[in-house]
Amino acid sequence: MSTIGISIKGITKHWGDVYALRNVSLEIEPGSFTTLLGPSGCGKTTLLRSLAGLEEPSTGELWIGERMVFGNGGAVFVPPKKRNLGLVFQSYALWPHMTVQENIAFGLKLQQIGTADIGRIVEENLATVGLTGYGHRYPSELSGGQQQRVSLARMLAVNPEVLLMDEPLSNLDAKLRVSLRAELKRIHKTTGLTVVYVTHDQIEAMSLSTHIAVMKEGQIHDFGEPDRVYQEPSTVFVADFMGNPQINLVPATVVEQNGGLVAQSRDKDWDVPVAGFDVAVGDSVIVGFRPEDTVVELSDTSPLKIDTVQKTGPDLLLTVLIDDEVVIARTDKNSGFAMDQNVTITIPPESINLFDPESERTISSSD
Amino acid sequence: MITDAVSTSTHRQVKFSWKVKRLLRRLRSAEGLVALFVVVVLVYFIVLPLVFIVYESLSVAVDDLRQIPGAKVGDLTLRHWIRTFTSWTRFFKPLLNTFLVGGGATLIITGMGLSLSWLVALTDVRFKRLIGVLCVLPYMMPSWAFAMAWTEVFQHQGVGRSTGFLAYYTGIEAPGWLVFGPLPIIIVSALHYFPFLYIMVKASLENIDSQLEESAELLGASRFLILKKITMPIVAPAILSAAVLAFSRVLGTFATPALLGTPARFTVLSTQIYSMTRFGRMSEAFSIALALIAFSATVIYVNNRLIGTRKSFATIGGKGTKQNLFRFGKARTVVGLGVVAVLSLLIVVPLLLLAYSSLMRNVGDWTFSNMSLHWWIGAGDPSLAEGESGILVNPAIWRGAFNTIRVALVAGILCGLFGLLIGYSVVRLRGTKVAYLIDSIGSVPIVVPSIAFGAVYLSLYAVPRPYLPMLYGTFLLLVFAAFAKRIPYTTRTGVSAMHQIGVELEEAATLMGAGLLLRFRKIIYPLARPGAIAGILLVVTTTVRELSLFILLMTPGNRVLTVQSLTYSEIGAQQLSNALMTFIIVLSLVLAGSVKALEIKNKRKGNA
């Protein structure tokens, strides 16, 4: 298990007026698999490249383990090769004029490791990524998935303390992505390396990571364990970005009803109890709930109607309009719902998230 | 108070030292180092010479001392500019002639290039490959080959020359304006430069997405309407751009007007620069050179501004295959034969006559009995051409051939390697001012006509100057000039080679601890080698047939073949000149042909 953690302290990176990173701080635990997640242009790759030393931040500090690798306004800058980390690129970045073996041996030669040892280490790492016997091939003779494994083996071979990965799976087809995901998880477990992983794919982030940092416009919106980030997102953006189909977001107003507080949609057709939240009568809120947490029941008296029904195989996806907002509910494939049926929509209290429409931040529950 | 002031000042100092440290780090980075080197070389070989001619044209020279009392050499003066730019004979007449030749040639170039590219790209005419070869052939030869062939055909004793082919066989003496002067210059220049437009327009015609035309056809448009409303508007920018660039090429051309204009006292700016340099009136030659550079630069700048960006839509969504060809039907063979015949008459026959005339022992006698290999392998005969021996047994010619190839190779290799460095800094620093600067300076030699370039280099290195070596009469001077003039070629090949190499390939090596030199040796160079070689070959093939760049730099000790050929012509040894020209044409074609073969082979390998 790696003992090397990473501290990112107030990192800002800008080119003139264009800001890629705004005062980003993050503590990455030793041995964790931390994913920087966000849409393109959110700064996740810039942050990763800053860690690698391929970009130089404008201000802030970067620590890898006990060592400051960037800080004091640029007075401290450890060059990439002395940071002892590996980086796996989206494009694999295998040198096309070298065989698999030569690709992996390149870094080892630079470390002045003896020829005999190089052969052994190359073989070991090829075995780790399941490519024993492929050493003499050229990258162009391998499939995309195999190329990415070689790229991984090349970085593992130099025995880094931290492994950085920049969208390593996004050039692969869907099937291969799933199998390589499993492999990455296994390799993380066996090597115990601290991994920092960049992706825009929230499913990848959910399934691989021990921690997720969701980024937008150069800032970290949320940081935590995947379940927490998914269940209790800290901002509307995070809620919206995580999950497919997307979270339902319904604007509502807090009113008193039958002695308790409820959030009521503006056309008053729908409400949910919000007793446990830090809100008062008259507050505007956004009610967020996941499609799979949405309970749909037939009710002739309800003003809500099923708008469309989509089969996905395992599920039925229903859409219902609440106050012109499309709400998606995920129900069992045998639930038998049909278009134009009148239904009620209820949400278990623990699955409700409330957001402040102004700040778009989550409203904490009082308990 | 005091301590406060001290602490802020030390704080400032510390902050300053961080900034310096950062700057140094950036300079020490791979891109920074390479870019610095590239900029230094570009400044030395391109910027400095240009600054020098501006300075020279504006300062007092030794010859002026008598005219300007009290002046010292090097004082600023507008004398040369005023003398030049107010004179009808020195400037405006040649200027007018230059534009006359440029305009006329461009008209013919556009007509020929357009119709031939349409034939090859968009019709089902027979013998397309042969037509294609004939259409690029002139471009692979020295620009004045046709000028020499032209004189062989049309000259006669009435214009003070030996009897040409036409006069000998028909007895018709062509009128003087057909032998020398603007008309032959226009025709001959057009013959040399039309392939330029043909290649560009054909490429854009072939790259049109045929779905665009098919959509119009499905909507009921006739073939003519499609050509008029769809095809032409899409390729129009490319045509215009090619015509404009061809025009700027003709503006700077030297050898053809020298051969066909000078006997009729018809001067253009480039020949004016040459004769003024010959007479040692450097400052005025430079003033004219500056004007010529300004014209070319304006033409190209306007082209890039107005057309350059629009041109891009001509190449969108190319499919490569065209199903929608114009059908000649039964006439396709006849049309094909006709085109081949006309092109042969224009291109192949003149060259054959040129070669034939090199076999005539006595000048102007076109009978078979006069045929001999004297000018090729004969020992010197004191009664003929001052006793010069045949070119293949003349050691001076072999020295010249060796020198030609040596200059071309050394300049080519320097250019090819330097092109990689240019490509590296431009691609890696993309979007920065430095990249823009390098790219721009690297393109400057395009707008400097070869003859002007040669004049500048002559003047820079002919007399001892501080910080510059004395290079007049040396091999190195030829290499310097060829290298500098060809930098734009390798800028293009170098940049496109570097575009192919993703930055990650290098970053991966950086992370593993590979330094700049190791990365260049192990990663960049092996991957960019095809690009470098393409650049080298381009420079070698074009340098072998170069004349105007070298003509002013020649000393008897370091002749190249092209200049020797012109010298023979000047001393009246026409057959020797023709023989040597034939030799150069064959050499050029062999070189160009093998480059083409190599390209095809590489492409196949790449596809496999």
What is the rounded distance in angstroms from the CA atom of residue A155 to the CA atom of residue A92? 11
Question: Are the Cβ atoms of A93 and B513 closer than 8 angstroms?
Answer: no
Closest CA relative to residue B483, chosen from B457, B462, B504, B460: B457
Q: Do B502 and A93 touch (CB under 8 A)?
A: yes
B513/A111 touch (CB, cutoff 8 Å), yes or no: yes
Interface of B with A in 485-504 (CB under 8 A): 502, 504
Distance CA A362, CA B485 (A): 66
Residue type, B529: R
CA distance A46 to chain B (A): 14
Q: CA-based angle B302:B305:B306, to the nearest 5?
A: 80
Question: How does residue A361 score in pLDDT terms, banded at 50, 70 and 90?
Answer: very high
Range name among A108-122, B81-95, B105-119, B564-578 with the lowest pLDDT average: B564-578
DSSP assignment of A58-99 equals SEEEEEETTEEEEEGGGTEE--GGGS-EEEE-TT----TTS-
C-alpha–C-alpha distance, residues A156 and B243, integer Å: 57
pLDDT at residue A202 above 80?
yes
Task: Give me the pLDDT at residue A1, please.
Answer: 64
Residue B607 has pLDDT above 50, yes or no: no
Which of A296-300, B269-273, B394-398 has the least mean pLDDT?
B394-398
**Can you tell me which residue has the tokens 């001393």?**
B571
CA distance A141 to A133: 13
- Check residue A367 and give its pLDDT: 55
Number of alpha carbons in the 13 Å side-chain half-sphere of residue B30: 24
Separation CA B233–CA B226 (nearest Å) = 10
Alpha carbons B239 and B317: distance in angstroms, whole number: 19
Residue range B493-552, pLDDT digits in tens: 888 888 888 888 998 998 888 888 899 999 999 999 888 888 898 899 999 989 999 998
Does residue B95 or residue B220 have the better pLDDT?
A: B95
CA distance B2 to chain A (A): 25
Which residues on A lie below 8 Å from B17 (Cβ)?
75
> Which candidate, A291, A260, A289, places its Cα nearest to that of A277?
A260
Alpha-carbon dihedral B523, A172, A176, B512, rounded to 10 degrees: 30
The better pLDDT of the pair B13, A178 is held by A178
Decide if B511 and A74 are in contact by the 8 Å CB cutoff: no
Q: For residues B449 and B251, give the distance between their C-alpha atoms in angstroms, rounded to a whole number.
A: 8
- pLDDT for B95 beyond 60: yes
Pairwise CA distance, residues B501 & B522, whole Å = 13
Backbone angles phi and psi of A280, in degrees to 5: -130, 160
β-sheet bridge partners, residue B552: none
Q: Look at residue B320 and tell me whether its pLDDT is greater than 80.
A: no
Average pLDDT over residues A59-85: 89
Residue entry with tokens 């094909």:
B336
Chain A residue with Cα closest to B18: A75
Closest CB to A96: pick one of B15, B518, B527: B527
Lowest-confidence segment of A16-20, A59-63, B161-165, B399-403 by average pLDDT: B161-165
Count, residues in chain A = 367
The residue written with tokens 């390939």 in the block is: B505
Query: What structural domains does chain A harbor?
Result: 6-241 (3.40.50.300), 248-355 (2.40.50.140)
pLDDT tens for residues B226-268?
A: 888 888 888 888 888 889 889 988 998 999 999 999 889 999 9
- Chain B residue closest to A165 (CA)? B508
> Which pLDDT value is given to residue B14?
58
| A318, A309 contact by CB (below 8 A) | yes
Residues B433 and B416: their CA atoms lie apart, in Å, by: 24
User: What is residue A104's predicted lDDT score, i.e. its pLDDT?
Assistant: 94
CA distance A93 to chain B (A): 5
Give the pLDDT band (50/70/90) at residue B103: very high
- The pLDDT assigned to B322 comes to 56
Strand spans (E) along B405-547: none
CB A235 within 8 A of CB A222: yes
Report the alpha-carbon distance of residue B270 to residue B189 in Å, rounded: 14
Q: Rounded distance, CA B120 to CA B132, Å?
A: 7
Q: Are strands A85-88 and A162-166 parallel, antiparallel or unpaired?
A: parallel
**Of A179-183, B154-158, B379-383, minimum mean pLDDT range:** B379-383
Mean pLDDT (whole number) for A171-196: 90
Q: Is the pLDDT of residue A364 over 90?
A: no
Contacting residues for B32 by C-beta, under 8 A, at least 6 apart: B26
> Is A73 close to B508, i.e. CB distance below 8 A?
no
**CA angle (A179 as vertex; A174, A185 as ends), nearest 5:** 125
CA distance A330 to B205: 54
Phi and psi, residue A327, nearest 5°: -110, 130
- The whole-number average pLDDT for the span A103-120 is 91
- ipTM here: 0.80
Per-residue model confidence (pLDDT) at position B394? 87
Nearest CA in chain A to B607: A140
Residue B136 near residue B340, CB atoms below 8 Å: no
pLDDT confidence of residue B226: 82
Q: Angle B240-B246-B248 (CA atoms, 0-180°, nearest 5)?
A: 105
DSSP lists the bridge partners of residue A10 as none
Separation between Cα atoms, residue B152 and residue B575, nearest integer Å = 10
What domains, with CATH codes, occur in chain B? 78-348 (1.10.3720.10)
pLDDT category at B26 given cuts 50, 70, 90 is low
Query: In which band, very low, low, confident or very high, does the pLDDT at B15 lie, cut at 50, 70 and 90?
Result: low
Residues of B in contact with A89 (CB under 8 A): 504, 507-508
Contact indicator for A85, A162 with CB cutoff of 8 Å = yes
Say yes or no for a CB contact (<8 Å) between A97 and B526: yes
Q: Rounded mean pLDDT of chain A?
A: 92
What is the arrangement of strands in the sheet containing A306-311, beginning at the earlier edge strand?
A306-311, A315-322, A325-332
What average pLDDT is seen over chain B? 85
* Mean pLDDT, range B26-36, rounded to an integer: 80
Instruction: Check pLDDT > 70 for residue B311.
Output: no
Q: What whole-number distance in Å separates Cα of residue A362 and Cα of residue A365?
A: 9
Is residue A247 within 8 A of residue A292, CB to CB? The reply is no
Q: Which of A54, A75, A110 sits opposite B18 (nearest CB)?
A: A75
Closest CA to B458 of B296, B282, B293, B292: B282
Backbone angles phi, psi at B192, to 5 degrees: -75, -35
Q: Is the pLDDT of residue A349 over 70?
A: yes
- What are the tens digits of pLDDT across the range B43-57? 999 999 999 999 988
- Residue from the list A75, A80, A110 with its beta carbon closest to the beta carbon of B21: A75
Pairing of strands A18-28, A6-15: antiparallel
Which residues of chain A neighbour B512 with C-beta distances below 8 Å? 81, 106-107, 110, 158
